[in-house]
C-alpha cells in the first residue's frame, strides 16, 4: 500500500500492481483513479463496464470517431456504447495511450518468451493479457463474450503509410501517470501484462501504482466536456442517466 499520495483529495485506496498481475473493482462516479508507471515501460490493459448494466461497456470505435483521434490523452473521454462518458482523462504526463492493438494471449507469449507454467515458476509464471482479463471478468459472471477492444495505457503504437503497426519504445518513463475521472459507476478490469507488440526480448512486465481519490464530477467548464461538441452531448447523456437536470446548448 502506498503511503505518499500526491494529491490533497481524500484517498480512497492505494495499491501497487506488480508486473503481469490483474485487478478488478468498482470505481464510483466522481472518483479519480491515478495509474503511475513506477519503472518506465509499463502497460496497463483496461476495460470499463457500467456496473449497473454490464452490457454497457467501453466502445473503442465511438471513442475514437467521436473525438477524431486514434489514441487517447489528456482532454479525451472514454465513451460507452450508449453514448455516455464512462471516464475522462483529466491529466496525463505520458501523452499517448494505445487503443487499437488489444492484448497478448497464451500462444503469443509462449512463442515470444517460451513457457514457464505455474508448476515451475509459481507466482513468477508467464501470464498473458487475455487470460488475465478473463480471470477477473469471471468474478462477475462474465466471460469471453464480454471482452471488447481495450485501452493499453502507457503504450504507444504508430501506423505507417503501408498500414504496418510499430511499437514505440520508451514512450512512458518512470513516474509518468494518467488520471481517469469516472463519470459513471464502473466495473474496471486491469491487466499489467506486456503489450502484444512490445519488442523486449525477455518476459519483464512492469509494476504500476494505482491510487483512487474522490475529486467530484465534471464542472460546466470542464476541459474534457468542452473539448468537442460530441463530448458535451455525451456528458449530457451521462447526467440524464443519473437523473440530473441538464440543459443542452
- Per-residue pLDDT tens digits for 237-248: 999 999 976 555
Check residue 8 and give its pLDDT.
56
- Average pLDDT over every residue of 87-94: 98
* β-bridge mates for residue 158, sequence order: 166
Check residue 116 and give its pLDDT.
85
Is a pLDDT exceeding 70 seen at residue 139?
yes
- Average pLDDT over every residue of 196-220: 96
Check residue 201 and give its pLDDT.
94
Q: What is the four-CA torsion angle of 189, 190, 196, 198, rounded to 10 degrees?
A: 160
Query: Smallest Cα–Cα separation from 36: which of 81, 6, 80?
Result: 6
- Average pLDDT over every residue of 6-33: 91
- Per-residue pLDDT tens digits for 140-169: 999 999 999 999 999 999 999 999 999 999
Check residue 178 and give its pLDDT.
98
Is a pLDDT exceeding 90 seen at residue 225?
yes
Is a pLDDT exceeding 90 seen at residue 117?
no
- Average pLDDT over every residue of 104-122: 90
What letter does residue 150 receive in the DSSP assignment?
Answer: P
- Average pLDDT over every residue of 57-63: 98
What letter does residue 69 receive in the DSSP assignment?
Answer: -
pTM: 0.93
Reading phi first (left if > 0) and then psi (alpha if -120 to 50, else beta), residue 137 is in alpha
Check residue 2 and give its pLDDT.
38
Residue with cell 476495460: 47
- Per-residue pLDDT tens digits for 165-186: 999 999 999 999 999 999 999 9
E strand or H helix at 11: strand 11-17
Is a pLDDT exceeding 70 seen at residue 210?
yes
Amino acid at each position: 500500500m502506498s503511503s505518499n499520495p500526491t494529491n490533497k483529495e481524500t484517498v480512497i485506496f492505494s495499491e501497487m500492481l506488480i508486473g503481469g498481475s490483474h485487478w478488478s473493482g468498482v470505481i464510483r462516479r466522481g472518483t479519480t483513479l491515478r495509474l503511475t508507471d513506477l519503472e518506465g515501460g509499463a502497460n496497463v490493459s483496461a476495460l470499463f463496464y457500467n456496473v449497473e448494466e454490464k452490457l454497457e461497456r467501453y466502445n473503442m470505435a465511438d471513442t475514437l470517431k467521436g473525438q477524431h483521434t486514434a489514441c487517447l490523452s489528456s482532454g479525451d473521454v472514454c465513451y460507452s456504447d450508449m453514448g455516455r462518458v464512462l471516464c475522462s482523462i483529466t491529466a496525463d504526463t505520458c501523452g499517448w495511450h494505445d487503443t487499437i492493438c488489444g492484448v497478448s494471449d497464451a500462444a503469443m507469449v509462449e512463442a515470444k518468451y517460451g513457457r514457464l507454467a505455474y508448476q515451475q515458476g509459481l507466482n513468477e509464471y508467464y501470464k498473458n493479457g487475455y487470460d488475465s482479463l478473463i480471470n477477473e471478468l469471471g468474478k462477475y459472471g462474465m466471460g469471453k463474450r464480454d471482452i471488447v477492444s481495450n485501452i493499453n495505457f502507457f503504450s504507444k503504437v504508430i501506423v505507417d503509410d503501408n498500414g504496418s503497426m510499430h511499437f514505440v519504445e520508451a514512450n512512458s518513463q518512470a513516474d509518468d501517470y494518467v488520471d481517469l475521472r469516472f463519470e459513471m459507476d464502473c466495473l474496471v478490469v486491469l491487466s499489467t501484462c506486456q503489450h502484444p507488440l512490445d519488442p523486449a526480448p525477455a518476459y519483464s512486465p512492469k509494476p504500476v501504482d494505482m491510487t483512487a481519490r474522490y475529486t467530484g464530477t465534471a464542472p460546466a467548464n470542464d476541459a474534457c466536456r468542452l473539448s468537442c461538441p460530441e463530448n458535451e452531448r455525451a456528458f449530457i447523456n451521462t447526467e440524464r442517466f443519473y437523473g440530473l437536470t441538464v440543459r443542452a446548448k
